[in-house]
Amino acid sequence: MQSDIKRLSLILLFAPFALWIALLIILPHMGMVVLSLREKVAPRVYEFGFGNYIDFINEPIYWNTLLRTGSMSILVTFLALLIGFPIAYYIAKIAGKRSRGALFLLCLIPLWVSDLIRAFGWILLLRETGVISSFLTDIGLIKQPIEFLYNDITVIIGLVYTVILFMIVPLVSTLDGMDNAMIEAGYNLGGNGFTVLRRIIVPYAMPGIVSGCIVVFMMTAGSYLTPILLGGKNSSWFTEQIYDQFITRFNWESGAAFGFLLLAFTSVVVWIGLRLTGQTLANTVAKS
Partner 1 sequence: MKHKTKITGLMAALLLSTASIAHAETLRLLTWGSYAPEELVQKFEERYPDIDVEVTFSNNEEMIAKLRATGGAGFDLAQPSHDRIHAAQMEYDIYKPLDLSKIDTSVMETSHLEGVKANTTIDGEVYAVPHQWGTSGLMANKSVAPDFKGWGDLCDPKYEGKTSMRLKRTILLGTAFSMGHDPFAAYSDLDKYQQILDEVAEKLIDCKSNIKAYWKGGDDLSAMMLSGEIVASETWDSTAYKLYGQNKDIVFVPPETGALAWIDTFALPRKGKADDAAYKWINFVLEPENVTIMSGSTGAIAAVKGGLELLPEDKRNAVTAAFTDADIANLKFFANIPAGVEDMEGKTLEKIKAATGG
232 binds partner 1 (CB under 8 A): yes
CB of 110 to partner 1, least distance (A): 22
Q: What SS3 class is residue 142?
A: coil
CA dihedral 221, 222, 228, 231 (to 10 degrees): -10
- Nearest approach, Cβ of 248 to partner 1 (angstroms)? 5
Residue type, 65: T
Residues 52 and 261 sit within 8 Å (Cβ to Cβ):
no
Q: Give me the least distance between CB of 144 and partner 1, in Å please.
A: 11
Residues 87, 251, 274, 287: which binds partner 1 (CB under 8 A)?
251
Chain centre distance of CA 219: 3
Distance CA 92, CA 86 (A): 10
Binding to partner 1, residues 73-132 (CB under 8 A):
123, 127-129
Site string for partner 1, 260-279 (x = CB under 8 A): --------------------
Regarding 43 and contact with partner 1 (CB under 8 A), the answer is: yes
Beta carbons of 246 and 252 less than 8 angstroms apart: yes
Q: How many residues can be counted in the chain?
A: 288
Cβ burial of 239 (10 Å; 0-12, 13-18, 19+) is buried
What is the CB-side half-sphere exposure of residue 158 using CA atoms within 13 A?
A: 29
CB of residue 38 vs partner 1: minimum separation in angstroms?
Answer: 14
- Choose, by CB under 8 A, the member of 233, 276, 278, 282 that binds partner 1: 233
Q: Which residue among 73, 226, 239, 245 contacts partner 1 (CB under 8 A)?
A: 245
Please report how close the Cβ of residue 174 comes to partner 1 at its closest, in angstroms: 40
Using CB under 8 A as the criterion, which residues of the chain lie in contact with partner 1 when the complex forms?
A: 43-44, 61, 64-65, 123, 127-129, 147, 149-150, 228-229, 232-234, 236, 241, 244-252
